[in-house]
Amino acid sequence: MFHALIFIFLILPFASNGASVEVLFEPKDLPPFRSDTLTVIAVSLRSNESWTGSLNAWCLDDDICTVDDGAYDLDLNAQNGYTSAFNLSIYGKFLGHTTLHLQIDNDSKELHLTKEEYKLTILRSLQGEMLDRIFTVVVTIVVIFNTFLMGTQLDLNTIIKVLKRPIGPVIAFFCQYVLMPTLGFILSWFLLPEKDYAMRLALFVVSCSPGGGKSNFWTILFDGNIDLCITMTFLSTVSALGMMPLWLSTLGTVFSPNRIPIPFFEIVRGLIALLIPSVAGMLFIRFRPGWEKKIHKIIKVTSFVFLVVFSVFGLFANFFIFQLITWRTVLASATLPWFGYILAFSVAYLLRQGWKDSITIAIETGIHNIGIAIIILRFSLPEPDRDLAMVMPISVVFLTGKPLLVTWIVRSIYHKYFKTKDGEETMIEPGKEVQISDRKTVYATTDLSTNVTM
């Protein structure tokens, strides 16, 4: 089970009736092991004279692991060379990081021995790891395919038209890549515990992610500027190539000093890989305009399929996250998108963008492309940090659209029962085709989180 025997001398001397005792462990660094398994650590004690007492061993976080029969009687004397050796059996209960603690008692006083650098890392069970791999592959395929579909909804002429008056996109860029990362950093720093560094980093990654998600859907329902929305989705995705690595290499390092290495080149490469399907979708529909109606039907079907795959299978594969959700994670996950709506709308409205553009910028800013954040986290972080990090993006996914849904219901009731005069605006229902330009009619759906934020 072990490599070549390696003893580490812990500088943990203590005085008890003049005795000096050292504790030794093997192996020096315990490799990570999976939950629902048992691992053994060899412990040796050395003294310079006779010493008697007892030793107790336990995991600092007993929700992560336990020490089976961690109590031992000690009798170090001349006959045994003032040494004692025994094995500690540690059972992994749940994924995470913790520390092995020792406590030695004798007749005169109680002494605590703590080797904080002797860390214990427990990974997901073999079954959970298999589900995780399947989920990662499925999510990657879904995001790539959905990004391609998003590309078919992008009209280059519409984008150029919007960019001729770039005030809206500039404000959206400021909200998306200045306000949101700043808000994400503040929430991660003040709301999430320091020990949960993987979750802190994950929330910050979500806040730095490009817009998209179900933004087209909600923009149409709230009578926003759909041309501006589509343009902002495309520009924020392209801008992510520079802005995400920039934020993660600056403020992101605060949450991962010497703990989680942030592979910036892999992140850029991943973003480029996700941008390619979007461009491919644009080129495909440009040279095959007759496929528009077929793609619209495909989007309607895939919207439901993606919802089932991500919501049901995603929760099944990551069911452990419910054990990690606290009021802090819920508050942080809700505050990020909800305050994003408020801040972005306020900035846009104060800059005289009008209702349509202001609500569009607010929706685009508050709804992130969670699929990109998940892929980056899953392919960038080691176990078990990548699993622990999933708590934040999945929580954000299920909380992002709630205020929009409530607002839309209230607004629909108001328009139905209190605004019945001729000439009033007509409410647009989910799934309805909407003409957004001379070239195309779209359904309100784009990428992965399109299907899960409601």
Backbone angles phi, psi at 24, to 5 degrees: -125, 140
| 321-328 contacts, C-beta under 8 A, 24 or more apart | 321/390, 321/391, 321/394, 321/395, 323/94, 324/199, 324/388, 324/391, 325/391, 325/395, 328/191, 328/192, 328/193
Dihedrals phi, psi of 297, to nearest 5 degrees: -65, -40
Which residues on neighbouring strands pair with residue 83, listed in sequence order?
Answer: 46
CA dist 73 and 88 (Å) reads 13
Query: Is 111 buried (19+), middle (13-18) or exposed (0-12) by CB count in 10 A?
Result: middle
Cα–Cα nearest to 154, from 224, 236, 243, 240: 236
Predicted TM-score (pTM) of this structure: 0.78
> What is the pLDDT, as a whole number, of residue 266?
67
Q: Residue 126's CB: how many other CB atoms inside 10 A? A: 12
Residues 6+ apart with CB under 8 A from 381: 198, 201, 260, 389
Instruction: Enumerate the β-bridge partners of residue 45.
Output: 23, 84
Exposure of 435 in the CB half-sphere (CA atoms within 13 A): 3
DSSP for 154-222? --HHHHHHHHTSTHHHHHHHHIIIIIHHHHHHHHHHHHS-TT-HHHHHHHHHHHHS-B-TTHHHHHHHT
For helices 197-208 and 327-350, give the axis angle rounded to 10 degrees. 20
150 contacts 451 by C-beta, under 8 angstroms: no
Structure tokens at 229: 């929305």
Strand partners for 89 = 40, 68
Contact present, 67 and 37 (Cβ < 8 Å):
no
Q: What is the residue whose two structure tokens read 């060899």?
A: 42
Burial of residue 414 (number of CB atoms within 10 Å: 0-12, 13-18, 19+): exposed
- Cα 329 to Cα 29, 196, 325, 392: the distances in Å are 31, 10, 6, 7
- From first to last of its 454 residues, what are the pLDDT tens digits of the chain? 333 333 333 334 444 444 566 788 888 888 999 999 999 999 888 877 777 788 888 898 989 999 988 788 888 788 888 888 888 999 999 999 998 888 777 655 444 444 445 789 999 988 888 888 888 888 778 778 877 877 777 777 777 888 888 898 999 999 999 999 999 999 999 999 988 889 999 999 999 998 876 787 788 788 888 788 888 888 888 888 888 888 988 888 888 755 555 666 766 776 777 678 878 888 888 888 778 777 767 766 776 677 666 667 777 788 888 889 999 999 999 999 999 999 999 999 999 898 899 999 999 999 998 878 888 888 778 888 888 998 999 899 889 888 998 988 898 888 878 765 544 444 455 545 554 444 455 544 444 333 333 3
Strand, coil or helix: 102: strand
Strand-strand pairing, 15-16 and 38-47: unpaired
The pLDDT score that the predictor gives to residue 221 is 81
Strands 71-76 and 15-16 come out as: unpaired
Q: For strand 65-68 and strand 19-26, is the pairing parallel, antiparallel, or unpaired?
A: unpaired
pLDDT of residue 422: 47
Among 369, 343, 335, which residue's Cα sits nearest to residue 171?
343
The pLDDT assigned to 69 comes to: 80
Cα 89 to its chain centre, rounded Å, is 33
Contact (CB, 8 A) for 140 and 310:
no
SS3 313: helix
**Residues 393/373, Cβ–Cβ less than 8 Å:** yes
Quick one: pLDDT at residue 450? 38
CA distance 401 to 225: 19
